[in-house]
Structure 1
Amino acid sequence: MKTRRKFLATSLLAVDSLLSTRISFAHGNAKHGGDKQPVNPEQQDWGIAGGAREVSRTIPITMTDEMRFIPDRIEVRLGETIRFLHHNVGKVMHEMVLGTKPTLDEHAELMERFPDMEHDAPWMAHVAPGGNGEIIWTFNRPGDFDFACLIPGHYQAGMVGRVVVSES
């Protein structure tokens, strides 16, 4: 019986360790808005990471404690590489995460369950109060895409926006 309990306890610890490791790699706050390391661009449904030399134009984004982005609607031409420059004028952390409604919904749910998860991806910028951030993104697919602040409560309060990518 003792052996069985020891095996069960060891198994539970191993599973907990694996889940904790997976979560810490998936999301987090250790480097929120910190120095981003160079990334290998990976195609997403809403585009691909862009490089500074490819920037077509820069769009400033203001983040507020009224849970709003200014602007909250952005029009982009297919193939444009946009530098989003974020400024958080609030007193709490905000973030901008590009994606589709389903991916943002899924990510927001994870943030609710694991609010201290770490994350750092080229389609995300975490901006401390009074701070600045940046995303450089190439919109290589037409369509309507979304962006949001997925910090628990912010998304639910309506801190969302839309990117419309047109072919012309």
Structure 2
Amino acid sequence: MKKTFTILAFSLLPAFAIAAVDHSGHDMHGHDMPTMSHATSTVGQPGDPANVSRTIDIIMDDHMHFTPSNIQVEAGETVRFFIKNVGQVPHEMVIGSIEELKAHAAEMLAAPGMEHEEPNMITLQSGKVGGLVWQFDQPGKVDFACLIPGHTEAGMVGTVEVIGDR
């Protein structure tokens, strides 16, 4: 199995928090995931790490949970999600609308070896940590889920409530 590693340096975290993120949970290199286009998404856009207003720690586990699974942010806020997989199997966090997540989950069933390299998603092997930086543009509900086949169906989903006027 081919392994790809990315070094993520978090400017607001201490030097010891720099993490090697293992992206080897999926084998299909270069998949562009047409159903997860963040450029036209109503759920926000990739955030600028220099504009992060806060960091939210998220734990993924083999009970098919995100902790926390319900998050509240302000419209316009840029958030760094610091994510840790404490389970024994790969998990991922994918930010999108429920429609985007369902469509991409169907793609993953057809191609379970899919590799994610988009700014709204991260796949982590057991014991690995990583991060996503996301800007939530407008009020409303934003979903996130683990789209590894069977994980969403087992309840590995969460919601971001974006409040305020923008």
Superposed pair shares fold, TM > 0.5? yes
Could you tell me which residue of structure 2 aligns to residue 8 of structure 1?
Answer: none
Q: Once the 2 structures are TM-superposed, how far is the Cα of residue 25 of structure 1 from its aligned partner?
A: 2.3
* 2:77 equivalent to 1:80: yes
Could you tell me which residue of structure 1 aligns to residue 152 of structure 2?
Answer: 155
Unaligned runs of 5+ in 1: 1-21, 28-40
TM-score (norm. length: structure 2): 0.76
Unaligned runs of 5+ in 2: 1-27
- Which one of 90, 97, 106 corresponds to residue 94 of structure 2? 97
- Percent same amino acid among aligned pairs? 46
* 2:124 equivalent to 1:118: no
Asked whether the 8 Å contact 1:26–1:117 carries over to 2, the reply is no
Structure 2 SS opposite 1:53: helix
Dislocated runs of 4+, deviation >4 Å: none
Could you tell me which residue of structure 1 aligns to residue 138 of structure 2?
Answer: 141
Q: 1 or 2, which has the higher helix percentage?
A: 1
- Which one of 46, 61, 64 corresponds to residue 61 of structure 2? 64
Q: Once the 2 structures are TM-superposed, how far is the Cα of residue 118 of structure 1 from its aligned partner?
A: 2.4
Distance 1:148 1:163, change over 3 A: same
Structure 2 SS opposite 1:42: coil
| Equivalent position amino acid for 1:156 in 2 | E
Q: 1 or 2, which has the higher strand percentage?
A: 2
